[in-house]
């Protein structure tokens, strides 16, 4: 007797009745699921999307909507930037870090302009104008932004071009993106059932996936998938047991999700022998305003800078969580971090773009700020002296922040404690926490066509996956837009592959 939510596959021979019979079942209705559903239905298959929530959306609908696209998109061209798939791939290989999937990155970069047009054809609007300053999401409806491409060390490995494409919205664009993609999937003929939680895969005697077991309002449903099952269930940041087992550094921080990322799709496939990759990797957003950080210094609990402040802010977060302030013991891991700015830098970022962030301490000298913040005596004063020397000379010899953002910091100085939190316009309430907001990047191992691979690197018949249920492009690194980007790009592949399965 297996437990109620067991992921142990059910043998098809034990299923004597199917409640629903279809060609392709898609589990999870976020961006990856919607892209898969569209393509599978467009190919002519009968498609059913099963979603545990009351409607489509997932994390995708809550997101900034930033999609990583390049290689010469019309938006890039209109904004005056030259780009090629090769430069895009070179950047991504560096930015996705150790373990990045080079073959997927090359495929993704080569197909990026086509994918841009596919999104536009699905009704996703992109305004061909540029937001040219560090930010999480442009506060305007500009469609293009930098995501670290023009910052060190990436300036040394690829010709810089901005590739952050955000659907036309002020601030967060994920809701609009999901409305377009789910509308397209429905127009193509895909249907959906909501409040349905898929628990288990159904497998035939030759280990092919032929359906799923689900629960709806306490009742079990068995659903037959004649051609294939696509898992687009998102990551596992909401499953503390999985975090403890695979990515313990991500425990205890704010979870960047819709609350439904319980890793169920990953576990169902693992129970069938699926391989996983980079389960310890995570995106780490620190509660800092990138525009303020770029105009000042970011220091750790020892008062030292550790990352060029003009880079993609998620890199600052990963460095803070994984490499700083360890206190000599993993158990003592902390995210203490301060943004140091002067009055001119603070005022230079318009108030609405500061997302409610205020200086936590203000002082005339670095020594006073050390006392107020508890930073070691002399540490901040030394860091400031060195920073101001670099700024005066116009070259940051330590961390290579671009000369554009280098300016000597003058009194009075402010320190912003990242643990005080930030509040994007779309969110309400007190955000004080660890300062870090995280989601997982590890997941199922898939091939370029969206097939889930087993531990022998061979395809599991009838099983496909995309989005954050998979590892996608990522090694240990992350850049905004690669999640919605690889989810929709390889979601399309997975949907097409499933629909074409005989
Ligand atoms: C505030 C915020 C901002 C972000 N900004 C960006 C950004 O600008 N760019 C970017 O690329 N990424 C961004 N991200 C990350 C990105 O949104 C996600 O990584 C991405 O949406 C994942 O897409 P997905 O389709 O794989 O999963 P999701 O969109 O999470 O969809 C998965 C769906 O599967 C459903 N599900 C899960 N398990 C089951 C089950 N067993 N049965 C049935 N249904 C199930 C869930 O309910 C969910 O609806 C952001 C995330 C947040 C929360």
Helices (H), 28-69: 31-42, 58-62
Specify the ligand 1 atom closest to the Cα of 199: 41
DSSP code at position 9: P
Q: Residue 331 above 60 pLDDT?
A: no
Q: How far is the CA of 463 from the centre of ligand 1 (A)?
A: 20
pLDDT in tens, 464-501: 999 999 999 999 999 999 999 999 999 999 999 999 98
Q: Is the pLDDT of residue 429 over 70?
A: no
pLDDT for 330 equals 43
Residue range(s) in the chain whose domain bears CATH number 3.90.700.10: 284-436
**Percent over 70 (pLDDT), the chain:** 95
Q: What was the pLDDT predicted at 430?
A: 64
Distance 448 CA to ligand 1 centre (A): 21
Among the four given CATH numbers 3.90.700.10, 3.40.50.11540, 3.40.50.1820, 1.20.1250.20, the one describing domain 284-436: 3.90.700.10
pLDDT higher than threshold 90 for residue 3 = no
CA 58 / ligand 1 centre spacing (Å): 5
d(CA 162, CA 59) in angstroms, rounded, equals 24
- Per-residue pLDDT band for 323 (boundaries 50, 70, 90) equals confident
Q: Which residue has the higher pLDDT, 430 or 82?
A: 82
Mean pLDDT of 422-446: 83
Confidence band of 171 (pLDDT split at 50, 70, 90): confident
- Ligand 1 pocket list (CB less than 6 A): 27-33, 50-53, 57-60, 62-66, 197-198, 232-234, 256-258, 260, 264-265, 439, 467-469, 480-485, 487
Span 157-185, average pLDDT: 96
Instruction: With cut-offs at 50, 70 and 90, classify the pLDDT of residue 427.
Output: low
Question: Span 273-302, mean pLDDT?
Answer: 96
Query: For residue 334, what pLDDT is reported?
Result: 67
Of the residues 6, 7, 28, which should be mutated to test ligand 1's pocket, given the most ligand atoms within 8 Å of the CB? Answer: 28
Q: Which element (helix H / strand E) includes 20?
A: strand 20-27
What's residue 326's pLDDT? Answer: 53
Angstrom distance (rounded) from CA 143 to CA 387:
33
- Taking the centre of ligand 1 as the mean of its atom positions, its distance from the CA of residue 278, in whole angstroms, is 18
d(CA 130, CA 340): 27
**Amino acid 329: pLDDT:** 41
User: HSE on the CB side for 325, CA within 13 Å?
Assistant: 23
Q: What is the pLDDT of residue 428?
A: 65
What are the residues facing 463 on neighbouring strands?
229
Q: How confident is the model at residue 101 (pLDDT cuts 50, 70, 90)?
A: very high
Q: What is the pLDDT of residue 422?
A: 78
| Residue closest by Cα to atom 38 of ligand 1 | 233
* Distance in Å, CA 335 to ligand 1 centroid: 25
- Whether 327 has a pLDDT exceeding 80, the answer reads no
pLDDT band of 30, cuts 50, 70, 90: very high
DSSP codes of every residue in 403-463: GGG-----SSEEEEEGGG----TT--S---SSSEEEEE--EE-B-TTSEEEBTTS-EEEEE
Mean pLDDT to the nearest integer, 57-65: 97
Quote the ligand 1 centre to 30 CA distance (angstroms).
Answer: 6
Given this model, what pLDDT does residue 6 score? Answer: 84
335-375 residue pLDDT tens: 788 999 999 999 999 998 998 899 999 999 999 999 999 99
What gap in Å lies between CA 463 and CA 215, rounded to an integer? 20
Ligand 1 pocket test target in 30, 65, 481 with most atoms within 8 Å of CB: 30
Residue 193 pLDDT exceeds 90: yes
Residue of 234, 257, 478 to mutate, ligand 1, most atoms within 8 A of C-beta: 234
What is the 468 CA–ligand 1 centroid distance (Å)?
Answer: 7
Ligand 1 pocket test, candidate residues 56, 470, 483, 486, most atoms within 8 A of CB? 483
Distance CA 370, CA 266 (A): 46
How far is the first Cα of the chain from the last one, in angstroms, to the nearest whole number?
Answer: 33
Sorted by sequence, the CB contacts under 8 Å of residue 486 that are 6+ apart come out as: 104, 108, 466, 467, 470, 472, 473, 474
Q: What percent of the chain has pLDDT over 90?
A: 88
Atom of ligand 1 nearest to the CA of 68: 11
Question: Tell me, what's the pLDDT at 432?
Answer: 72
pLDDT (0 to 100) of residue 425: 66
Phi first, then psi, for residue 383 (nearest 5°) are -60, -40
Model confidence pLDDT, tens digit, residues 211-242? 999 999 999 999 999 999 999 999 999 999 99
Ligand 1 centroid to residue 245 C-alpha, Å = 21
Of the candidates 146, 70, 79, 88, which has an alpha carbon nearest to the alpha carbon of residue 402?
Answer: 146
By CB atoms closer than 10 A (0-12, 13-18, 19+), residue 183 is: middle
């Amino acid at each position: 007797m297996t437990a109620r939510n067991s992921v142990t596959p059910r043998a098809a021979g034990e299923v004597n009745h199917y409640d629903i019979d279809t060609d392709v079942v898609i589990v999870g209705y976020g961006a990856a699921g919607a892209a898969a559903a569209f393509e599978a239905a467009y190919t002519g298959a009968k498609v059913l999307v099963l979603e545990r929530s009351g409607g489509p959306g997932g994390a995708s609908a809550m997101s900034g909507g930033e999609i990583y696209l390049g290689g010469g998109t019309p938006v890039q061209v209109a904004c005056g930037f030259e780009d090629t798939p090769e430069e895009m791939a070179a950047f991504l290989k560096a930015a996705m870090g150790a373990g990045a999937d080079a073959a997927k990155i090359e495929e993704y970069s080569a197909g990026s302009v086509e994918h841009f047009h596919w999104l536009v054809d699905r009704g996703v609007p992109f305004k061909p104008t540029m937001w040219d300053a560090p930010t999480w999401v442009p506060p305007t409806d500009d469609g293009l932004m930098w995501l670290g491409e023009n910052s060190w060390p990436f300036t040394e490995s690829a010709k810089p071009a901005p590739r952050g494409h955000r659907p036309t919205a002020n601030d967060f664009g994920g809701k609009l993106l999901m409305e377009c993609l789910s509308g397209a999937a429905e127009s193509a003929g895909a249907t959906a059932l909501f409040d349905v939680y898929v628990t288990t895969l159904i497998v035939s005697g030759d280990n092919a996936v032929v359906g799923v077991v689900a629960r709806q309002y306490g009742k079990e449903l068995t659903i037959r998938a004649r051609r294939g099952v696509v898992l687009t269930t998102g990551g596992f940041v909401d499953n503390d047991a999985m975090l403890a087992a695979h990515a313990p550094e991500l425990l205890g921080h704010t979870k960047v999700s819709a609350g439904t990322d319980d890793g169920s799709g990953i576990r169902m496939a693992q129970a069938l022998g699926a391989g996983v990759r980079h389960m310890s990797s995570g995106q780490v957003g620190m509660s800092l305003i990138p525009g303020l950080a770029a105009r000042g210094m970011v220091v750790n609990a020892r008062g030292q800078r550790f990352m060029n402040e003009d880079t993609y802010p998620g890199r600052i977060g990963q460095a803070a969580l994984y490499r700083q302030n360890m206190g000599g013991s993993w158990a003592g891991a902390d995210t203490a971090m301060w943004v140091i700015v002067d009055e001119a830098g603070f005022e230079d970022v318009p108030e609405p773009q500061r997302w409610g962030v205020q200086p936590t301490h203000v002082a005339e000298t670095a020594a006073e700020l050390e006392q107020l913040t508890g930073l070691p005596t002399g540490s901040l004063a030394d860091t400031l002296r060195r920073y101001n020397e670099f700024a005066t000379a116009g070259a940051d010899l330590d961390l290579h922040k671009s000369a554009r953002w280098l300016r000597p910091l003058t009194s009075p100085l402010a320190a912003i404690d990242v643990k005080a939190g930030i509040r994007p316009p779309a969110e309400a309430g007190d955000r004080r926490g660890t300062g870090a907001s995280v989601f997982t990047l590890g997941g199922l191992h898939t091939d370029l066509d969206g097939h889930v691979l087993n531990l022998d690197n061979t395809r599991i018949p009838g099983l496909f996956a995309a989005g954050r249920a998979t590892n996608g492009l990522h090694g240990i690194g992350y850049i905004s837009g690669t999640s919605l980007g690889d989810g929709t790009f390889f979601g399309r592949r997975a949907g097409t592959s499933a629909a074409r399965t005989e």
